[in-house]
A = this chain, B = another copy of it.
Amino acid sequence: MAWLTATYLIESEPERIAERAEALAIEQSVECPLEAVRDPRIRDEIVARVAAIEPAGERRFRVDVDIAVETTGGETAQLINMIFGNCSLWENVQFVGLELPPALLAQFPGPRHGIAGIRALLGAPRRPLTCAAMKPQGMRVPAIAALCRTFARAGVDIIKDDHGIAGQTYSPFAERVAACQAAVAEAAATTGKRSFYAPHLIGTPGVLHERARIAREAGVRVVLVAPMVVGLPAFRELVDDFPEFVYLAHPAFGGAARIAPPLLFGRIFRLLGADAPIFVNYGGRFAYSQDECGALAAAARAPWGGLRTALPVPAGGMRLDRVDELIAFYGPDTMLLIGGNLLLAEGEALLARAREFVQKVEGVGSPATA
């Protein structure tokens, strides 16, 4: 028998924590009174077990629960169900850790490219990387393509759709992809440096696949997907079916479940195939702490079985004047994403501002930058 370990932070009076932890283990496995579990095989092999309870602050405990691998069927959706299905509905429980035994982990290929693959694609073996977002949604395709061309002329590595850009009438998917692919090709012919356009894939699973096919035919190499919006199992299936794409994973809708950000974005997204998780940086528009962001980046890059490392992409209210600080904090295996702050300029001034972003990021790396 093999067991995975899921870890939860549970708020509880000390005298009740043992009982709450036991109840959680039952909730996440057989979900019925133990008296109703009469088969000794099920008691021994299926019922989850409390493996450890450690204090983690006042009225707060860190609880490790061993969950039978067999109950997950090695399958993405059922894994989610078993690790944080019903107990997501409990008050005062946060899901904070996940360890999978090797045989189960081997069923999750994780990132198909990872940091090394992204660096190879971009021809940038060591330096920090750049990403810009095309905003605001509502722009028509020629305006989007013009913005894409400007960022590509400035030498930004990856130019992504804003995550609000879907397949709306004002910027239909196929037309947008063709125009932006042409824009990056045109800029590369001038500058000699190739930028990559990353269209946003969003929709029901059938739409996702249809758009992925359109993107592939247009020569797209990098895509943006919000795994929690499309659903984690649909994301996993997309990665399996289109392994040639580098996947930027957007955090939208990620706050709706109570999962610690380092676990959800740094670890679970990576497990399911995200090459580069985008997350909201400390000191921006969101309330993530620096420690939490550091833990997230560390989780994305940490050794984990045979999984490739994933590239942290801090974003969310980032500013040009913070580039040095952020590279110092995150190190070179990072892609900085600046969205709206670049767009405070327009026309030639925007080109200059985007160039400044690229130069600042590339200049901060080691002298032997690519």
Contacts and interface: CB of A to CB of B under 8 A. Distances in A.
Contact of A203 (B47, B78, B203, B316): B78
B205 A71 contact: no
Contacts of A162: 31-32
A170 B89 CA distance: 27
Interface string A194-219: 00000000111111000000000000
Contact of A256 (B78, B251, B259): B259
A370 interface: no
Given A136-B37, A203-B78, A31 B256 contact: no
B32 A135 contact: yes
B258 A77 contact: no
A12 interface: no
Interface in A61-77: 70-73, 75-77
A368 interface: no
A251 B254 CA distance: 17
Most buried by B among A163, A228, A287: A228
A237 B237 CA distance: 15
Most buried by B among A41, A45, A251, A253: A253
Given A81-B252, A90-B287, A234-B233, A33 B340 contact: yes
Contacts of A88: 252-256
A109 to B, nearest CB: 13
Nearest to A168: B73
A204 B229 contact: no
Nearest to A75: B203
A107 to B, nearest CB: 13
A101 interface: no
A285 interface: yes
Interface string A154-178: 0000000011101111100000000
Contacts of A231: 205, 230-234
Contact of A78 (B27, B89, B202): B202
Given A256-B84, A286-B89, A204 B76 contact: yes
27 contacts: A31-B136, A31-B340, A32-B162, A32-B340, A39-B143, A46-B136, A70-B168, A71-B164, A75-B166, A75-B202, A75-B207, A81-B163, A81-B166, A81-B202, A81-B253, A82-B164, A85-B164, A86-B163, A89-B251, A89-B256, A89-B316, A91-B256, A204-B233, A204-B236, A204-B240, A234-B234, A255-B256
